[in-house]
Amino acid sequence: MSKPATAHLKAALSKESGQPRNSIDDDIKTAEDKAMEQTFTKLEADLAVIKADLATIKSLYATKADLAQAIAELRSEISAKIDRMQGELHTLKTSGDTLKAEFDKFRTEFNQLRAEFNQLTTAFNQLTAEFTKWCMQIDLKFDLIRADTKAQILEAKNTIILWIVSTVLFAQLVPALLKQLGP
């Protein structure tokens, strides 16, 4: 305890012991005691506030053990996440390799299809050339048939004209011949 608190206690004891008191001294001591008591009360109140603040601070702030536990938890979580990410990365790499293999297979099949398409294009071009040649041959045959038909028509026309002319001539000559041979 501090000296003023001790003096205050002594004064309180002397009042109780029944010893005669000096009134001036007692008044000074009483004023000092009151001042001391107020100071002591204020200090007690301040100490209570400080204790409450310390309790609050202790409840809000972590201790070394709390920090060590939090660090251990963070390390285990980070380690688990790293392991999971490595697993996912491995899965992605495997998927990427699979996709690459599938793409290579697709590329090979596409090249085969391109080669087959080129063969079909070549065959189509050959068929087109043969069809064009065949159409030209048919056109030539039709032209020959038309020419033959025209020649035959012309020959038939000439034959008909000749027959008509012969018939007309014969029709004119028959009466004249009959007159000369006749009656």
Per-residue pLDDT tens over the stretch 109-131: 999 999 999 999 999 999 999 99
The count of structural domains within the chain is: 1
Per-residue pLDDT, averaged over 57-67, amounts to 81
Do the domain assignments include residue 106?
no
Q: Is residue 25 part of a domain?
A: yes
Token pair for 178: 């009959």
- Give the pLDDT confidence score for residue 19 in this predicted structure: 53
pLDDT band at 72 (very low <50, low <70, confident <90, very high): very high
Mean per-residue pLDDT, 159-172: 89
Q: What is the pLDDT of residue 141?
A: 86
**108, part of any domain:** no
- What's the pTM? 0.38
In a domain, 40, yes or no: yes
Domain range for 45: 1-61
Is 73 a domain residue?
no
Question: Which tens digits make up the pLDDT trace of 124-159?
Answer: 999 999 999 999 998 888 888 888 888 888 888 889
39 domain residue, yes or no: yes
